[in-house]
Chain A
Amino acid sequence: MKRILSLILTLSMLLSCVLLAEAEAPAKLSICSPDNTFGLSTDPELQQAVVNMLNEACNVDLEAVIPPIGSYNDKLETMMAGGDVPDVFSISQAMTRLPNYVTREQCLDLTELIAKSEKLSALDQSYFQALAIDGKIYAIPYYYPRVKCLFLRKDVMEKYDIQLSETPTTAEFITEMSKLKGTGVIPFSFPKWIDNFQYFLNSFGAYAGIYQNADGVYVDGMQEPQMVDGLNYLRELYTSGVMDQEFITTENATMREYVYTGKAASDIDYVANYSNYISQSAAAEAATDVQPIYMLVGPDGKGGGLNESIQTAWCISSDCKDVDAAMRVIEALVTDPAVHAGFYNTGVEGAHYTIENGVAVATEKATNSGYSIKYNYITDSFIPDFSSLPYQPDEKMKAALELQRSIIDKGMELRGPKQMIPAGKSDLYDENSASITNYWKEVISQIVLGSVTVEEGLANYKNFWNSVDGDTILAELNR
C-alpha cells in the first residue's frame, strides 16, 4: 500500500512539474523583419544575439526570419501566399501593401489591443491613424513620418558665396546653385527614384498621382493645370545643369557619398539623416556641416518637404496563436528604450559593442561585418527618453543629434502632402494603381531627360489614362 501511495505521490509531483514547466514556457512565435533591423548587422551570430535579447525581454521563444532588405517584400509575400504568415511581421511601403494584406485577411485588427495596451495607447494616436483602414488599425508604426529635405554643404556655400535660406524660392535655388557650374562640383545630386521629384512639385501645388483635392474630390494630379508648371521647373533644373546629369543611374548611397566627399554640393535626403552628413563627411576627410532646405517656395507661395508619411510598421498575423505574446513583442520594440535601440540600431552589449567610459564601442567582429554604432533611434522613435541606457553618444554626436531633432521638427512642420487612396473603394483603381504609378514615373523621367516635351509627355499620359479607363476610376472613387 505504501509503495502504491508513494508511486502516486511521485507521479503527481512529476505531473505538476511538467504542467508548471509548460505554463511558464515561453510562447513560440515567428517574427519576420528585414536585415536592416536585428541590430543592424548581417552576421547571423549577432542577429541571434538580438533575438535572444527579445526572447528574454518579452518571455517568448522567437523563430526569426531575417531576409535581405532588397528581397524582403518578395520573401514576405511568398511566405504569405504559401500559407506561412509569420506571427509578427514588419511591412514596408505600408500605404500600398497594407490594404492588400487586410483585404486578404492576413492582418489582425489591432484597434482593441492597442486601446488595452497602456504603453501603446499613451502614444500619439494620429500616427496609428495614418495607416488605419476603415477606422481600424492593422499596423503599429514605430517612428515619426519620414520627411525629406535638401542638404547643402556649408563649406561649398561659403566658398562659392551661395546665398540660400532654409526656405528659398524655386527661382533663387536655380540662380544660386548655378554659381557652381564649371567648378567641378555637381550642384545638386539626385537619386534615380523618380517619386522624389514630388519635393519640387509641392512648390507648384502639383501632386503626382490620384489625390483628394481641397474640395474632397478625387482628381488625377498629372492632368491638373499646375502639373505643367511643376514639370517645366523640373526640366529647367536639369537643363540649367543644376541637377546631376546622370541622376537616372544614381543610387541613394552614391548620391549621399557625392555629398560626403564634396563631389556634389547638395542632395535630397531624410531629415533624420542629418548626423550622417556630419560623421561621414569627416570620414571622407571632407568634414563640413550641412544646411537643410526644407522646401522651395513656388511662385504662388506654395511648397513643402517630401512627405513619405509612415511606411514601415508592425503587423500581427490573423492566424497568430498567441496574440498577447505577439503584442508584448511589438510593445517592447516600439516603447522599450533598451529593446528599441538594440533592435533598430545598436544591437547587444558584448556582441555588437562594449561600453568604454559610458560610450559604446563596436566589437571587432561586428565591425568586420560592416556594423557601426548608429544613434538614429534617439531622434526617430516615439520614445522620448533614452537616458536609462548604459551608453550615450559622445558630446559631438550629442550636439549633432540635438540639431537633428530640431531639423526633424521643422521638417515635420513644413512637410508637403501625402495621400493614401483607401483599398476597396474602386476595384479598377486597385487593379491599375501600380501601372498608373509606373507610367507617371516614366513620363516624368522622359520629360526631365528631354526625350519628350512637357506637352508630348502629358499627351502620352492622357492616352495611357484612357487605356486604363481612368475616368471610370475617378468616378468610382468619387461615388
Chain B
Amino acid sequence: MMTAKRANAIRESNARKAFRICNVIFLTLVCVIVVIPIWNVLITSLAADKDVMGGVYLLIPRSLTFKSYARVLNSGYMRGFWNSLFIAGVGTVLAMVITTPMGFALAQKQLVARNFFMKAISLTLVFDAGIIPLYVLIRMLGLIDNRWALILPFMLSTFNLIIVKNFMMSIPTSFVESAWLDGCNDLMALIRIVIPMAVPILSAVTLFYFVSFWNRYTEAVMFINNSSKYTLQVMLRALIYQSDGSLGEGNIVYDNTKMAVMVLGMLPVMLIYPFVQRYFVTGLMLGGVKE
C-alpha cells in the first residue's frame, strides 16, 4: 500500500526541493522579523518596572504582571481610546457610504463627463496642498477643535475610490441592466445587486479606511486644541516623548506603560483583521483589474 502511494507521488527534483527549503527559510525569517517587534511590545508591557529600565530589548519574559494594563485602563488614555474609536468608527461608515455609490457611478460608462470627473479626482493623488492650507480651510469651516475635523475632510480616499470603481467595472453590466429591467432604480441596483457582489473589495477598503482613521496623528494635533478630544495616537506619542524631553524635566514613564498603551492602540485593528482577512487578498486583486 505504502509502496503504491510512493509510486503515485509526483517526484520532486532536487532543485525544486532546494527551492522549497530556501522559500521556507526566507518566509520564516520574514515572519520572525514581523513578529519579533510585536512580541517585544507584548512582553515589555507585561514586565515589571525595574526589568524595562536601561534600554533593554526584551524577548524572553523576566517578569509577568498586568500592572501596566491596570494603570492604563484606569488612566486618561482610555478617553483617547474612545475618541479614536468614535472617529475611526463613524469615519469608516461615512467613508464607505460616500465611496461605494461614487465608485458605482464612476463605473457606469454612460455617466456624463465621466472622464472629466475621473481626471479631477485623480489630480488629488498627485497634488497635496499641505497642512497649512488644510488648517485654514478647517478654520474657515469652523471645525477647529471639533472631532468632525478628523472625519469630514478624509471621508474620501482617491486610492480607495479607484479600487472600488475598478472592481465595479469588472461586474458584468448585464447584472445591473437586469435589475433595471426588473424595476430597480440605480440605488436599488447598487444595494441589491452590486454591493453583495462587491463584498470582498468593500471589506478590504473598509479596513483601509479604518486603519487610516485610527492611525491619523498629524491632523489630530493640528486641528484639535482641547486635549480631552485627542485621539489615542496623539496620547501615545505624548507619552513616548514625555519621558524623553530634551530638558529631562518630564515624567519618567517606563517602557512597560508605553507598550501597554501601544497594545491598546493595536487592539482594534488586530480584532477586525481576522473578520475581513478572507476577503482581503481577493478584494485587492479584483480591485486591481480594469476592464
Contact = CB atoms under 8 A, between A and B. Distances in A.
Interface residues of B, number: 47
A280 to B, nearest CB: 6
Contacts of A146: 247
A344 B251 CA distance: 11
Given A67-B221, A283-B50, A270 B247 contact: yes
A258 B131 contact: no
A251 B247 CA distance: 12
B242 A35 contact: yes
B132 interface: yes
A81 interface: yes
B135 interface: yes
Given A68-B238, A70-B241, A82 B75 contact: no
A69 interface: yes
Contacts of B128: none
Interface in A187-237: 193
A42 B239 contact: yes
A44 B250 contact: no
B50 A68 contact: no
A257 B246 contact: no
Contacts of B248: 252, 256, 269-270, 273, 276
Interface stretch (B2-10, B36-44, B229-237): B229-237
B22 interface: no
Nearest to A84: B139
B177 interface: no
A368 B71 contact: yes
Interface in B84-130: none
A253 B243 contact: yes
Interface in A358-399: 364-365, 367-372, 374, 376, 380
A40 interface: yes
B31 to A, nearest CB: 25
Contacts of B14: none
B72 interface: yes
A65 B225 contact: yes
The secondary structure that dominates the B interface is helix
Interface stretch (A11-19, A71-79, A333-341, A402-410): A71-79
Interface string A300-341: 000000000000100000000000000000000000000000
Interface in B125-150: 131-132, 135-136, 139, 144
Given A44-B226, A68-B241, A252 B246 contact: yes
Interface residues of A, number: 64
B238 A78 contact: no
Given A44-B227, A78-B132, A370 B253 contact: yes
A47 B252 CA distance: 18
Interface in A44-88: 44-48, 63-71, 74-75, 78-79, 81-84
A111 interface: no
A36 B53 contact: no
A78 B135 contact: yes
Contacts of B144: 84
B76 A74 contact: no
B235 to A, nearest CB: 6
Nearest to A263: B54
| Interface-centre pick from A48, A146, A368, A372 (highest chain B CB count, 10 A) | A368
Contact of A42 (B70, B218, B235): B235
A280 B246 contact: no
A376 B54 contact: no
Contact of B136 (A82, A283, A374): A82
Interface centre among B70, B243, B247 (most CB of A within 10 A): B247
A261 interface: yes
A75 B72 contact: no
A24 interface: no
A339 to B, nearest CB: 17
B257 interface: yes
Contacts of B139: 82-84
A270 B247 CA distance: 7
A345 B251 CA distance: 9
Contacts of A380: 249
Contacts of B136: 82-83
Contacts of A84: 139, 144
11 contacts: A42-B227, A45-B76, A70-B237, A250-B55, A261-B53, A269-B248, A270-B247, A273-B249, A345-B249, A369-B76, A370-B253
Given A270-B248, A312-B247, A365-B74, 7 more contacts: A36-B250, A42-B239, A66-B227, A75-B222, A82-B139, A253-B252, A283-B53
